[in-house]
Structure formats: C-alpha cells, structure tokens
Chains A and B, each alone.
Chain A
Amino acid sequence: MSRVRRRAALVVAALAAALSPARPAAAEDPSRPLVGITFDRYYDGAALESALKTIHASFPLFTRLESMGASREGRPLWVISVFDPSGPRAIDDRPAMYIDGNTHGNEVQCTEVALFTVKYLLERKDADPWIGALLKRVTFHVAPCVNPDARERFLHQPNDEHSPRRVLRPVDDDRDGRVDEDGPDDVDGDGDILTMRIADPNGDLVDDERDARLMRPAKPGEKGRWRILGAEGTDEDGDGRVNEDGPGGVDPNRNFPCEWRPDAVQGGGGPYPLSEPETRATALWVLAHPRIAAVQSYHNAGRMILRPPAARTDREADFPAEDKRLYDELASRGQLLLPGYRYMQIREELYQVWGGFVEWTAHALGVPSFTNELWGLFGWGTSVVGGDLEALRWNDVALHGAGFVRWKKVKHPTYGEVELGGWRRYTIRSTPVDFLPDLCVRNCLFTLEHASAVPDLDVRVVEQAPAGGARRVRVVVENRSMMPTATAWARRHGLVPPDLVGLDGAAVLAAVEVPGPGQPGVPLPVKEGRARLVDGVGGASSRTLDLWVDAASKPTAVVVSSRLGGLLRVAVP
C-alpha cells in the first residue's frame, strides 16, 4: 500500500517538476549553479573534469569527487558521490548505487546520461520530495566515463560509430609481431571513417533499387558492380591487408573476474581478469565500497534494459526465480520511462558475454545490476548493404540527410579509385545531441527507481521482559523496500555476510527468531555478541527476534549491520 502511495507521489512530483515554469537559465543565477552544465553537447576529458569540479565546488557538502585511478594513458577515472548529509545515517553507512558509463569508448552518450543524473539529483532534491528523501537514504556513486582514452579518440579523431571500442592495450591483432600498426585511416581527410567500396565487374554487390545509398547482393546470374573493401583505410604495414591491426585490443566489458574467458574463447577478454588499468581501478574502487547495493552500467545501442546472467541461460545458471521477479519488476518500471526499450536476459536474448561488468557485480558481489543499451532507433547495425531503409528515412527526416555520407570518389594509395560513403558518427549508435536531454532524463529516472529499491532497513524494540537472571529484548527488523539484503543468488553462493543484529551496552547471549503465531521459535546463530541473520531480510518483510542478554546489562541502542542494507543504530526507548 505504501508502495502504491509512493508511486503516486512520484508521478505527481515528476509532473510538477516538468510543468513548473522554467527558472531563468542565467549562468550567474546563484540558486542554479549548474545551469551551465548543459546536454546539448558532448563532454571531452577536459570538459568533463571541469563540469565535475564545478558540481563539487557548488555542492561541497553534497558531493565527493575522486579519481578511481588512471587510464592507460594517464587520464583520471572520475567518480563523484552524491548524497544528502542531513540523512539519518552516516554517508558511508547508507546503501549505495553505482552508475558508470562509456565502458566502450565509442558509446559516448553514457557519460552524458551519468553526468545528467548527478545534476538532476542535486537540482531536484529540494523541489521533489521523493528525490530529497532518496538522497537522504541512498548514496550515489557516479563514474561518468570509465574508458576516457578511447572516448577522447572518438570525440576528437576520425572514427566511425563503432570505433574505438576497447581500452588501449597494444595488441598484435594480426599476429605479425607488430602492434596496432594498421588501423583505419581518414583517407579523404573529412574527419570520418566511412565504408570503402570499389567498382568491380566481378564484384558481389549491385546498387539497391530502393535507395541508391544502399547496395544489395547480386542475384544469381546478375552482373556485379561493387566490392566492399572494408572500413576507410590504407595498408600501412604493407602486408596486403587493410585495417587488420587497429588500436586497442582488450574489451573492458569482457575483462571482469566472473565467468571470465580468455581470447581463445571470446575475443577481447585480455590476458587475465582485470588486466587493464581501467578495469582494475574500477573493480578495486567498487570492492572498497561494499555498501553498493545497486548497479547500472550504461552502454549503447539498441534500446534495451539488460539483466544478467550474461554468460549462461537462466536454466544453465539455475537463476533463482526470486531474483528474476525482482529484475522483472524493476524493468517493468523502466519500460514505463523508456518506451520502446526491450527488457532482455543478456545471454538468452542478446548474446553471450564472458567476464562482463554486471556479471561480476551481480554474480560475484551479489548486487542487482542492469545495463541499459542506450539509443539506436533501428538496432545497432549501420550496414550499407541490405536493410536500414528505415534508418535512412529517419536520417532524411530528423537529420535532414546529414548522418549518411553519399558515395564519393577518392584516390586510394593501393587500390586506385575507390568510393567512400556510409554512416557518420552521432547517428544510429551515439545520440545526436538534439536528442540527448530526452535520453538523459528517461534513463536517469530509471536508475533512481532502481536506487529506491535498495534495502530500506528499520529496527525497533517492541518489548523488554526480565526472565530470571536474563532479559529478553524483542526487536523487529524490517526491510521496507523491494530488494532483499541478500539476493537468492548471493545467498546460494555465500557472496554477502550475514546481517548482524546486536545491542549497544549488552552482548547478545542467545537469539531466537519469533515466528508466526503457533509456531515454535527458531534459535539463531550468535557470534561476537550479535545475532546473525544468515539469509538476510527479504524485500518488504520483517523478522522478529528475541535477543537474550544479561539482566544486569543496560542496552542503549539496537544495531543492525548489513552489507547491502547499511548500518543502522536506533536508541532503545
């Protein structure tokens, strides 16, 4: 019932915020210090650093800004924590949500969505009571870009929608003893890496009658006209092949220590888990923040809300039905906010990922985790052969044709005359800037919904009764939120320690779980003077315990310590 009411409150608050007349967007307005952080642009490393520092300087009591470490080329891996210090618990005693983006260098809009979330939380915490309350209860850790080297190249160097994707460990892709010596090149100097084709009477392609920008395979008996030479580029190493050894070689989202597999099984896994400075720094930082109870890792593209397992089917993993229901419920709320987004199990409905980040957070750390695949109106392909007519139509209407470069003749050092054409960046995978604000707010709201589901523990003493030399203290531990303090997966694999219930001023000598009426009590394990709830506290449920202490002791507070639920101390009345 309270959930329904809070849902209604959310809708009202969101409407109110959306409909309220805009305040003047003046940079000098001291009441809106973040007004200059806009989402009609992409932030490169320097701009992101500047924006984060502005945020921290504007809200020094509500944020912490630090670097998780450095990328291979030495760029900082920023993480900003957002919280309301006036909440009842210490900041690091609260459950937390971790959000990151741009794991793949070409998936740039993830950074803006993450940055938007920081701004949104800070700007709306006073106007929107639901957000205000959330920020007092849950700490947000936001790492807008965890692959800054590749991002910088995507933003500032010739590239296409798909490159550069990986982190920049030099890898000898073509195994010729030289590393990264033959990547794509901007042959015509227009700033884009396009597709290269050559006229060839023996070619396998002909012009597509539906749209001259596309080609289609020649039919049997039909004379060919074109042959695709691959991405725009030259044969830098003179081995007769073009672009066969481009920059970078380890896929950071295949490099995490859970269900990891080497390159021989899946390209991009890297030498060993967390072999890369970016992934290792991220993992060590996450491990050092054990209160993280929810994770969102943004990617593009394809408009999806993805849940683990990523390496195995639910059946292979024996994925717990209880956990699936939790993901289903959160995803269904996400779909309200993100129309057109499909909710998918990664392995079953997308593809198999070994060593993915959310596999690690969900299945090695026990933290419910999603990956949103942002944008991508027409899937994530940008082929110039066959389909994508819809994409071209959209390009003509929304971008006025600017997203697709029509075929043009160019002199190539090896091939002679070739033609270049195809999709540019910021079209089908990365969001055109005009569409960023809408993308940001919708995904941001989904992560806030996810964050609001982390365990919300309360504890109270309901009865104290002397019993000879002992005293019985009856407490009720309640989890008012959707997520359990330990998912079924975490319980099965022993990923999180038991929740501990103790008393300040009195060691618990014995503890009994008080079940429903007519049921016998169940003794609970006690260690170091605290009762241990090995299975944690389920979502939207409570557990009633009798804690037995020495009658002479004077309990002053009841203390609940939960890895994912946080630390809670409530005075004994």
Chain B
Amino acid sequence: MPTRPRSVLPSILLVASLLAGVGGTIPAVVAEDAPPPKAPEPPPKAPEPPPKAPEPPAMETPPPAMGETPPAMDEPPAMDAPPAMAEPPAMETPPAMAEPPAMAPDAAAMDAPPPAMAEAPAMAEPPPPPPADAGPVSPTGRPGLPLRYRTPDEVKAALDAIAARPAWGARKARVERYGTSAGGRPLWVLRIGPDAAPQVLVHGGLGARDAAGTVAAIAFADATLPDVTPAEGGAAPPPPDDRVGWLVIPAPNPDALAAFLEGKPRLGGPDVDRDQDGRAGEDGPDDLDGDGEVVSMRRRAPDGPFVADDAPPKDGKALGDPRAMKEAGTDARRAASFTRPVEEGKDDDGDGDVNEDPPGTDLARNLMGVWEEMGAWPGDGPFPGSAPEAKALLDLSWDTPALVGWYAFTSEGARLERASERGNDADADDALYGRLAGPWREAAGGVELRKASERPGASENRGSDLDWAARHLGVPALRVPVWRIAKEAGSARDRHDPDEVDWLLWNDRVLGGKGFVPWHEVAHPQLGTVEVGGWKRFTRWEPPADLLPEAVRRVMRVPSVHAAFAPRLAVRVEVTARGAGLASLKVRVDNVGGAATDTVRAERAARATPVRLDFAPAEGVEVLAGPRSVGLGTLPAGGVSAPTEWLVRRAGPGPLGVATATHRVAGVATAEGRLP
C-alpha cells in the first residue's frame, strides 16, 4: 500500500532533489542507465584532437549569473541524447562542432540545421548576417525578438511587442492576465487567434530553473505571429491556413524566473512547512564558501553510499571522471566514499537537518496529476494547486474547452517526453502519440521521444503538468527540453544518450573546464569539513547565453506540429426530391481534421462531448420528421457520421435549410440543402 511516508524526510529529499540534485538528480552522479560496453572494442585510436580553434563559447555575455543550483525539474543525472546527433557516422569530428551546413542561414548553427521554417521567405538577396541571438525572421524579412534570457518584465514586454503586430490572416494576438504569483507578479498568457478554433497551450517551464523554456515559448510565439509588414515595394505574404489558436505562457512561474536570473535560485509559489515544525521555507540551500554559486555538497564517510566515478581511461577515452560520482554498490576497490551529495547548504533553523525546508513550492509537482493513494497529498505543497501559479494554470486550462494539445518548454533534457500516467488506461492514446511522434521528432531536429516515466532516475510525480493535461483534460501533452549536448567523442561509455562524463568532457572542451566547480573542502558550520563542488548556472542545466539561441531555434517550432492534429468538421447534405414539394435531406458530418474530435482519455475523463448536428429549416419550409438536435458521438480523423434524415415540405424550389455541426474542440461547420 503506497502511503505517505511516516517521516516527512523522503518528501523533503524529493523536493531538495529538485534543487540540489539529490538522489537521482545529482549533477555529478552518473546513473547507470546502460551497461558498459560489452561489444568488441573498436581499434584503439589516438585521443581526439581538440577541435579546431576552440573558440570558447565564452561566458562573457553572461546571464546575470551569480549562483547556481542544481537541476530544476526532475531531470535525471544521466543525459540521453537525440539519436540524430548521438551517433554521428564518423567520430572524427565531435558532432557539436560540426561544420554548419552550407545552406544554414545561421552561422551559429551548432550541430543540426534549423528545422524547416515553414514561413521563411525565399529571399532573393542574402540579407546581412543576423546577430548571433537573432530571433525568427518573418516572411517579409523582419527580424524577430532576440533570443536571450528575459526577466518577467522583459517577458511581458516581448509579449506586448508580439501582440502589437498587425494581424496576419486570422492570427492576431492579445495579452491577458490569468492570475497572480505568490510573490505578487502578474501571470500573462498571450492568446494568438483564431479564437474559434481548437486551442493549443504552450508554456515555459514550471521549475526553479526553466529560464530557457521561457525563451523558447517566446520564440514560438514570435515565429507564429511574425511581423509581416511588407518591405518597401514588397508584397504581403499570403495568410496562413490556420486550424488552431494558441495560448502561450512563457513564464508560468515568474517568481522563480526572476530569482534564477538574479542569481538566487529558488522555487516559486508560497513557502511550505515540509518538516512540520511550524515554520515554512526556513531552511533552504546556502552558498557556504561565498563563491556566488550554490552547488553540491558531500562528506567523506567510510561506508558512504557514493564514490567518485573515476574508472581509468580505456584506449585513451574516458570511462569515468573523478569529478563525477556514482553509487558505490559493492565496489570493493572504493578508496574513498562519500555521503549522498545534497545541495550546498547549512542547517538554517538549527534542527539538525540541512535544506529540509527550502522556500517556495515545487510547481512542477503541484498540479493534479495521477494520485490514487490514501492519505495526504504526496506532491509538493499541502494539496494540488495550493500554489496560486499552479491553480491559475489549472483553471485557465480547464476553462479552455477547445484545448487540443499541451506543450511545455523546459530547460534541459535529452529527449522529448510525453505524458506517462500510470494505471491500466495510461496508454489509451498511444495510437495518437504514435502518429505525432514522427512530426515531433522532425520538428525537434531528430530528438527522440520517450514517456516521462522512462527517463533514467525519474521519480514518481503525482503533480505533473503533463499528466494533468493527458488525464484530466484528455489532450496529448509533450515536454520539449531546450538544452542538450551530443555525445562526446572522448567518452568510451556506451550509453545511448550523453551522460555525466560527456557533460564533463564538454565542459572541458567547450567551457575550458569553467562550468564545473571542482570539489573542494569547506568548513561547514554544523557538519565539520565537507566538500563542495558541481555545476554552475548556465552550464549543465541551462545553456550558456551564447549557446541559447541555437538551442532554442532547434526546438521552438515543435508545437506548430499540432496544427495538423486538430479535428475539423465538414457537413454534407444530400437532398432527394420526393415530389409534391416533399424532400428528404440526408446529412452526414465528416471529420476532415488530423485527429479525432476527442481522445480516448477525454472520453474516459468525461470531458468528451459528442459532435452535435442541428437542422434549421429555411423560411417557408416545414419539417415533417427528424430530430431537432442529434448527438453523433466522437468522430475519428477521417471519420464520417451515420446519416441523419429529415423529411421536409416546401412549395417550389429554393433553400430547405441549414445543417450545422458543432463540437467543443472542432468548432462549427454548416451546409445548406436546396431543392433544385
């Protein structure tokens, strides 16, 4: 029987792990997600030469960085990588430094051509090279908003700028306030029309360090409603064929975003008394050594459960890295072992525990996901939706009946992740996900898809936004991480996705080793001598500012895939004259869209509504038989309803009436019947 732990400690650790990388999420700990290579080794090779001109992607235009906390979100330690980038045919050139494809308009392209820009114009003359952080260029050649980290105020300004653009076809935008954060900041949603269409929600991350997700959500909105004012002498581009509208929420957790960019990362939302001591949020992480970075902390312990992951190199390639850690297991050769690394911090409230009650609520665990256990709420906060930011998002999405898709841009992750509820109907919509998988992968530049629960080290999350969307709203939901690296050529580890060793090699190669604070001894006020070390901000868990634009460009268009996966109705009327002014109408409704009018999960969640068909007789037409209104149930993509028949009478030729099909998501379609 899964129950709430008797001690609050496990849930505290869970929460701490979000900030600190405890347990499955220690930045410097490698999860064993794949066995070491067993296949015959390739012939020994000389170590890779350093890439040409290691133009260090300098951190000199640093984001307002001061400190760093370990991962937001429930990201695993192990990095998985997109296969397209992960397995370059030849390992001579590290993929991350591959030559930019010749046709790539963007010199900053890192390792993959940008996804096809559907609306990019065929330009006659090459424009001047855009700045490195150039946003999406409009079809008329106008520059988009720069791709850079933005504070909540700057996010609002960006949304206002997009909303001020002229309408493009049915696309026009407005900024609406949908709530207020615990810290008093307004919560903004950018609605991009058409309103009377299926709606797709796109939000930035809910975690403590999802600043890159915020940038991606803005970039998506920017590309969706570009400034199409024609250049001088130019023509306006044709209006797009719009099948969906968008709700874009770049900063659903503005308090955390602001704190992160100020160098004082913390969760958003109200403080929680996790340790039940009558004080809320009183013991969070601290910068022990005053270096401006909150990283990880470990202690030497004879029987500690962790050791340095320092396997000697094999054939000149790294099998481990002394900076990385791994679970000791029964490793007999352990020279030094350590306690489980936790976030850097002291015992602020003097209760003998460190960081057990960090400020704020973990919003990524505060929505209503899948929770069927007895006892108290096992997510963060006292109950689901306890944080005003979480409640506002729950309410906004619940009150959007035409919602058809849910996308969450987050900072870091090796793969796209779809909702992964538990239970015997968790996979009810696998067929739909199967059809979405290809377009998603293509739009993300080849990044693979998995269920969120399949991520190595993933812990169960009862309050996930993906599960809220999939289970309670019945819409497909996808997490789109912005930041990833390719596997490093210098690693001999046989893992499908990049892991901690790849990240450390990348740190040395690209950042000159500056991204990782080496483990060093610090005198701890309560614990004696401890060691502090780990990833700084803007390295491992979110891209350095100069690598942000390309990372965003690669994934920013993923949600636009959904336009092809919305239901759409059409009505067919077949009139048969029966003589003497009598006529019968047979009416069928087609779903000409790319998805069923409701998902299987929407039906099981009792959110589904039937397609409704009404018939309004024209003036002078008498209905002799037939329903006023009929429910046709759910229509699959490409599906046609059974015919509904009306018998009418009319003196002479002319219109008989209008049949109207209506659906909560798919909208309205009409057709007229006429007596010839």
CB-based contact A273/B276 at 8 Å: no
**A:111-126 near B, CB below 8 Å:** none
Number of A-B contacts (CB under 8 A): 102
Known: A239-B628, A494-B5. A177 touches B371 (CB 8 A): no
Which of A258, A271, A363, A492 is the one whose CB lies under 8 Å from B472?
A271
**A:270-328 near B, CB below 8 Å:** 271-275, 283, 287, 290, 309, 311-312, 317-318
B165 beta carbon closer than 8 Å to chain A: no
B277 beta carbon closer than 8 Å to chain A: yes
CB-based contact A492/B6 at 8 Å: yes
- Between A240, A275, A363, A494, the greatest number of chain B beta carbons within 10 A of the residue's beta carbon is seen for A494
Q: Which residues of B contact A496 (CB under 8 A)?
A: 276
Q: Which residues of B contact A527 (CB under 8 A)?
A: 351-352
A222 beta carbon closer than 8 Å to chain B: no
CB-based contact B376/A495 at 8 Å: yes
Tell me the complex Cα distance, A312–B6, Å. 21
**B:326-377 near A, CB below 8 Å:** 350-352, 367-368, 371, 374-377
Q: Mark B1-38, 1 if CB is under 8 A from A, else 0.
A: 10111111000000000000000000000000000000
CB-based contact B7/A238 at 8 Å: no
A15 beta carbon closer than 8 Å to chain B: no
Smallest Cβ-Cβ distance to A309: which chain B residue: B374
A176 beta carbon closer than 8 Å to chain B: yes
Q: Which residues of B contact A494 (CB under 8 A)?
A: 4-8
Tell me the complex Cα distance, A318–B371, Å. 19
Smallest Cβ-Cβ distance to B468: which chain A residue: A272
Stretch at the interface among B490-498, B602-610, B639-647: B602-610
Q: Mark B389-424, 1 if CB is under 8 A from A, else 0.
A: 000001100100000000000000000000000000
CB-based contact A240/B377 at 8 Å: no
Tell me the complex Cα distance, A491–B6, Å. 7
CB-based contact A287/B382 at 8 Å: yes
Q: Which residues of B contact A175 (CB under 8 A)?
A: 609-610, 664
A493 beta carbon closer than 8 Å to chain B: yes
**A:224-261 near B, CB below 8 Å:** 238-240, 257-260
Known: A493-B3, A494-B6. A271 touches B374 (CB 8 A): no
CB-based contact A272/B375 at 8 Å: no
Smallest Cβ-Cβ distance to B351: which chain A residue: A528
B662 beta carbon closer than 8 Å to chain A: yes
Tell me the complex Cα distance, A257–B384, Å. 7
CB-based contact B394/A272 at 8 Å: yes
**Interface size band for A:** 35 or more
Q: Which residues of A contact B386 (CB under 8 A)?
A: 274
- Between A258, A271, A317, A493, the greatest number of chain B beta carbons within 10 A of the residue's beta carbon is seen for A271
Smallest Cβ-Cβ distance to A366: which chain B residue: B376
Known: A264-B605, A271-B472. A257 touches B3 (CB 8 A): no
A432 beta carbon closer than 8 Å to chain B: no
- Between A257, A364, A492, A497, the greatest number of chain B beta carbons within 10 A of the residue's beta carbon is seen for A257
Q: Which residues of B contact A563 (CB under 8 A)?
A: 276
Tell me the complex Cα distance, A494–B11, Å. 11
A387 beta carbon closer than 8 Å to chain B: no
Which of A177, A274, A311, A492 is the one whose CB lies under 8 Å from B385?
A274
Name the prevailing secondary structure of the A interface residues.
Answer: loop
CB-based contact A317/B374 at 8 Å: yes
Q: Which residues of A contact B351 (CB under 8 A)?
A: 527-528
Q: Mark A21-63, 1 if CB is under 8 A from B, else 0.
A: 0000000000000000000000000000000000000000000
Cβ distance A528 to chain B, nearest Cβ, rounded Å: 5
Cβ distance B116 to chain A, nearest Cβ, rounded Å: 37
A437 beta carbon closer than 8 Å to chain B: no
A463 beta carbon closer than 8 Å to chain B: no
Q: Which residues of B contact A239 (CB under 8 A)?
A: 628-629
Q: Which residues of A contact B384 (CB under 8 A)?
A: 257, 272-274
Q: Which residues of B contact A264 (CB under 8 A)?
A: 604-607
Tell me the complex Cα distance, A377–B374, Å. 34
**B:92-106 near A, CB below 8 Å:** none
CB-based contact B394/A528 at 8 Å: no
CB-based contact B376/A493 at 8 Å: yes
A66 beta carbon closer than 8 Å to chain B: no
CB-based contact B375/A493 at 8 Å: yes
CB-based contact B629/A493 at 8 Å: no
Cβ distance A344 to chain B, nearest Cβ, rounded Å: 20
**A:520-573 near B, CB below 8 Å:** 527-528, 563
Which of B1, B278, B610 is the one whose CB lies under 8 Å from A318?
B1
Cβ distance A1 to chain B, nearest Cβ, rounded Å: 35
A263 beta carbon closer than 8 Å to chain B: yes
Q: Which residues of B contact A259 (CB under 8 A)?
A: 374
Tell me the complex Cα distance, A358–B383, Å. 15
Smallest Cβ-Cβ distance to B662: which chain A residue: A177
Known: A493-B6, A494-B8. A271 touches B394 (CB 8 A): yes
Smallest Cβ-Cβ distance to A257: which chain B residue: B383
B612 beta carbon closer than 8 Å to chain A: yes
Tell me the complex Cα distance, A271–B367, Å. 11
Q: Which residues of A contact B395 (CB under 8 A)?
A: 271, 275
- Between A312, A318, A365, A497, the greatest number of chain B beta carbons within 10 A of the residue's beta carbon is seen for A497
Tell me the complex Cα distance, A495–B290, Å. 38
Tell me the complex Cα distance, A176–B610, Å. 8
Tell me the complex Cα distance, A346–B374, Å. 16
A262 beta carbon closer than 8 Å to chain B: yes
Smallest Cβ-Cβ distance to A272: which chain B residue: B368
CB-based contact A262/B375 at 8 Å: no
**A:494-529 near B, CB below 8 Å:** 494-497, 527-528
Q: Which residues of A contact B5 (CB under 8 A)?
A: 494
Cβ distance B504 to chain A, nearest Cβ, rounded Å: 38
Which of B278, B375, B385, B394 is the one whose CB lies under 8 Å from A495?
B375
16 contacts between A and B (CB under 8 A): A177-B609, A177-B662, A257-B382, A258-B375, A258-B377, A271-B398, A272-B394, A272-B398, A283-B383, A287-B382, A311-B374, A363-B374, A364-B376, A493-B3, A494-B7, A527-B352
A-B contacts besides A262-B472, A271-B472, A494-B5, 16 pairs, CB < 8 Å? A176-B609, A257-B383, A260-B371, A263-B605, A272-B367, A272-B385, A274-B383, A274-B386, A275-B395, A275-B398, A309-B374, A317-B374, A364-B377, A494-B8, A495-B375, A528-B350
> Which B residues have a C-beta under 8 Å from some C-beta of A?
1, 3-8, 275-278, 350-352, 367-368, 371, 374-377, 382-386, 394-395, 398, 468, 472, 604-607, 609-610, 612, 627-629, 662, 664
Q: Top 8 A-B pairs ranked by shortest CB distance?
A: A494-B6, A257-B383, A264-B606, A497-B276, A272-B368, A364-B376, A493-B375, A175-B609
